């Protein structure tokens, strides 16, 4: 099995963490030969050191821009030409590589590229057409939630039965997460109490809405942003930047509440990670986050400033009963990378059989 390991390079956000954890879980299967290829010239040599134990690097350096341009119009070059033979090729990041004989599996994480194509980076201007073409060519499509599966079937005009839902998992370390020490809190510039947004910045993350809601109530704790990108700044906000996995767990565990005000999400992993740390969650009332949160987060209609401010006030109020806390953590524990790997293997078997 050959997967696209390009998301493993550089600072890992949601898709990078998905690719790393999935490949590690697949590699632990005794009957699965897991290999990865990176579609890049500059960072290609870093793939070997970025792979989980048991996953082998394959391939030669090839420019992603040239590959995408060719794959948009043809099935050349097949990925086997520079990465070797495989039974299954898995496009983990929206783009399905062309293949010669290998079965084809494609993960589509969300449809933000269709909802707001004007927000795509110049290098991704062909992404909508690439994903549409890949969805037709793929033997099986994977999505992280049923909500995304339904949307893909409807908007990309593919058979819903062609799609496997492969929910993401929560690493075990989140369930033992502890707040940062006093020294580390000082180093990061964290206030004693804070609301937290964790993730990459971007237009669909609803940060302007969050800022308006936060500014409407001076009694709310300061707002901390943890993740790469440019974030809004006021006297009551902090940006701690991209954090290591250990620091991120500690910063989430130390928060009064986590807020994910996204206009749209494919999965919303920070919601479950905060629940694993026993941290209250406020998020947008959209199908994906409704599905993932399972009734254990406070859901707010997108764009309603007063409703979001009220939800944040409620989230930082005295904690719920121990039984409610245990139920919330149990919900997060039901999402495992083992299950993600098992459902993905089911997709591979279906693809080979087709």
pLDDT of residue 323: 65
Mean pLDDT of 324-334: 92
Q: What is the pLDDT of residues 173-199, one digit of tens each?
A: 999 999 999 999 999 999 999 999 999
SS3 188: helix
Q: How far apart, in Å, are the Cα atoms of 334 and each of 134, 239, 265, 299, 348?
A: 31, 31, 20, 20, 23
β-bridge mates for residue 226, sequence order: 198, 241
pLDDT of residue 32: 87
Residue 320 has pLDDT above 90, yes or no: no
Residue 274 has pLDDT above 70, yes or no: yes
pLDDT of residue 322: 67
Percent above pLDDT 70 for the chain: 99
pLDDT class for 1, splitting at 50, 70, 90? very high
DSSP letter string, 76-101 = -S-THHHH---SEEEE-SSPPPP-SS
Provide the 8-state DSSP code for 148. Answer: H
pLDDT class for 120, splitting at 50, 70, 90? confident
The backbone torsions φ and ψ at residue 214, rounded to the nearest 5 degrees and listed phi first, read -65, -40
pLDDT of residue 311: 98
Q: Which domains does the chain have, with CATH numbers?
A: 2-169+337-353 (3.40.50.2000), 172-333 (3.40.50.2000)
Q: What's the burial of 255, exposed, middle or buried (CB within 10 Å: 0-12/13-18/19+)?
A: buried
pLDDT of residue 194: 98
Kindly report the pTM of this predicted structure: 0.95
Mean pLDDT of 304-308: 98
pLDDT of residue 354: 81
**What is the side-by-side strand order in the sheet with 88-91?**
56-57, 35-37, 2-4, 88-91, 103-107, 140-143, 163-165
pLDDT class for 172, splitting at 50, 70, 90? very high
pLDDT class for 117, splitting at 50, 70, 90? confident
Mean pLDDT of 137-160: 98
Residue 30 has pLDDT above 80, yes or no: no
Q: Give the other-Cβ count within 10 Å of 154's Cβ.
A: 11
β-bridge mates for residue 104, sequence order: 89
d(CA 122, CA 14): 21
Residue 228 has pLDDT above 90, yes or no: yes
Q: What is the pLDDT of residues 57-115, one digit of tens each?
A: 998 888 899 999 999 999 999 999 989 999 999 999 999 999 999 999 999 999 999 98
Q: Tell me how long the chain is.
A: 354
Residue 324 has pLDDT above 80, yes or no: no
Q: What's the burial of 163, exposed, middle or buried (CB within 10 Å: 0-12/13-18/19+)?
A: buried
Mean pLDDT of 257-263: 97
For all residues of the chain together, what is the average pLDDT?
94
pLDDT of residue 230: 92
Residue 139 has pLDDT above 90, yes or no: yes
pLDDT class for 321, splitting at 50, 70, 90? low
């Amino acid at each position: 099995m050959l997967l696209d390991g390009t998301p493993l390079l550089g600072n890992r956000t949601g898709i990078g963490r998905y690719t790393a954890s999935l490949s590690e879980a697949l590699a632990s299967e005794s009957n699965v030969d897991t290999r990865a290829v990176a579609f890049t010239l500059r960072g290609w040599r870093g793939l070997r050191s970025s792979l989980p134990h048991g996953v082998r690097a394959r391939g030669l350096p090839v420019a992603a821009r040239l590959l995408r341009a060719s794959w948009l119009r043809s099935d050349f070059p097949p990925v086997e030409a520079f990465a070797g033979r495989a039974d299954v090729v898995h496009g983990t990041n929206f783009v399905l590589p062309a293949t010669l004989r290998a079965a084809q599996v494609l993960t589509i994480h969300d449809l933000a590229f269709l909802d707001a194509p004007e927000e795509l980076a110049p290098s991704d201007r062909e992404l909508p057409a690439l994903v549409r073409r890949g969805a037709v060519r793929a033997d099986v499509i994977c999505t992280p939630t049923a909500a995304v599966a339904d949307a893909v079937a409807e908007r990309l005009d593919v058979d819903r039965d062609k799609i496997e839902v492969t929910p993401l998992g929560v690493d075990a370390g989140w369930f033992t997460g502890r707040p940062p020490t006093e020294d580390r809190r000082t180093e990061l510039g964290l206030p004693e109490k804070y609301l937290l947004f964790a993730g990459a910045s971007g237009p669909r993350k609803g940060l302007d809405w969050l800022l308006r809601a936060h500014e409407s109530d001076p009694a709310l704790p300061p707002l901390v942003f943890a993740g790469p990108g440019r974030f809004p700044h006021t006297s009551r906000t902090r940006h701690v930047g991209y954090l290591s996995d250990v620091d991120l767990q500690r910063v989430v565990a130390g928060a009064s509440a986590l807020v994910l005000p996204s206009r749209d999400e494919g999965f919303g992993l920070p919601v479950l990670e905060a629940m694993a740390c026993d941290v209250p969650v406020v998020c947008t009332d959209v199908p994906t986050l409704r599905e993932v949160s399972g009734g254990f987060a406070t859901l707010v209609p997108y764009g309603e400033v007063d409703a979001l401010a009220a939800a944040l006030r409620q989230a930082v109020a005295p904690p719920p009963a121990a039984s409610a806390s245990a139920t919330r953590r149990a919900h997060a524990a039901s999402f495992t990378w083992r299950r993600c790997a098992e459902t993905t293997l089911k997709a591979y078997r279906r693809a080979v059989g087709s």
